[in-house]
Amino acid sequence: MNLVFLGPPGAGKGTQAALLTKQYGVPQISTGEMLRSAVQQQTPMGLEAKRHMDSGALVPDEVVVGIVEERLAAADCVNGFILDGFPRTVAQADALSVMLRKSGKEIEHVILFDVDTSVLLERIVGRRMCRKCGRGYHVCFDPPLEAGKCDECGGELYQREDDQESTMRKRLEVYEAQTAPLKAYYSTGGLLRSVDALGAIQDVYGEIQKIVGRD
């Protein structure tokens, strides 16, 4: 199961990747999560990344490509991976195809989360994340059992710094300008599959299971 999830911020990539990981044990590789963890640990890379993330811009390609290459070489990726939020530029997509070729792997499907941008703001401003395990929630669409507390580990729920409305608008512009061209890139290669990401979480999951042949 070698998958790439493509879609605008708030489309539901992280939510669906977490469900697949839970069911099939294939690791979710979220560049956003890896970068947030580097920011939290205040590593030199994290401090550099923070400047870009806070403004809603992309982190430079060479930084992100480096962390993905290292992550894909880990033992738990031997049976597959779900790339959540990578690649996000044509240069990243080219780098991914080189690194996969070197390791004798290939992408099975690129799943495009097709969603009307009008719902994204509502999803993003209502999103809450667990400080401890990183699980995502939504105050209305996917609430925790107890407000402010993670169902899985009891950790404190918080709102991401880049989930403010102004930063969100910038992230959407960046998506259109730099990431949306990947639809044509992967469509040409015959890898692109689309899911209706406007549906309820379980309905979207059902569509993805059909694509990956495990429904």
Any idea which residues carry the catalytic annotation? 13, 88, 127, 160, 171
User: What is the C-alpha separation between 69 and 213, in angstroms, rounded?
Assistant: 27
Which residues, 151 to 170, sit near ligand AP5 by CB under 6 A? 162
Shortest distance in whole angstroms from residue 132 CB to ligand AP5: 17
28 is a contact residue toward ligand AP5 (CB under 6 A):
no
User: What is the C-alpha separation between 12 and 123, in angstroms, rounded?
Assistant: 9
Instruction: Check: CB of residue 89 under 8 Å from CB of residue 58.
Output: yes
Shortest distance in whole angstroms from residue 172 CB to ligand AP5: 9
141 is a contact residue toward ligand AP5 (CB under 6 A):
yes
Six token digits for residue 201: 């979480």
Q: What is the dihedral of CA 94, 97, 103, 109, to 10 degrees?
A: 150
User: What is the C-alpha separation between 191 and 174, in angstroms, rounded?
Assistant: 23
* CA dist list (Å): 152 to 23, 101, 104, 159: 15, 37, 36, 17
Nearer to ligand AP5, 104 or 211 (CB): 211
Nearer to ligand AP5, 30 or 212 (CB): 30
Nearer to ligand AP5, 3 or 15 (CB): 15
Which residues, 53 to 82, sit near ligand AP5 by CB under 6 A? 53, 56-59, 64
User: What is the C-alpha separation between 82 and 107, in angstroms, rounded?
Assistant: 10
Residue 142, classed as helix, strand or coil, is strand
Which residues, 166 to 205, sit near ligand AP5 by CB under 6 A? 171, 199-201, 204
123 is a contact residue toward ligand AP5 (CB under 6 A):
yes
Nearer to ligand AP5, 80 or 199 (CB): 199
**Binding residues for ligand AP5, per CB under 6 A?**
7, 9-15, 31-32, 35, 52-53, 56-59, 64, 85-86, 88, 92, 123, 126-127, 136-138, 141-142, 162, 171, 199-201, 204
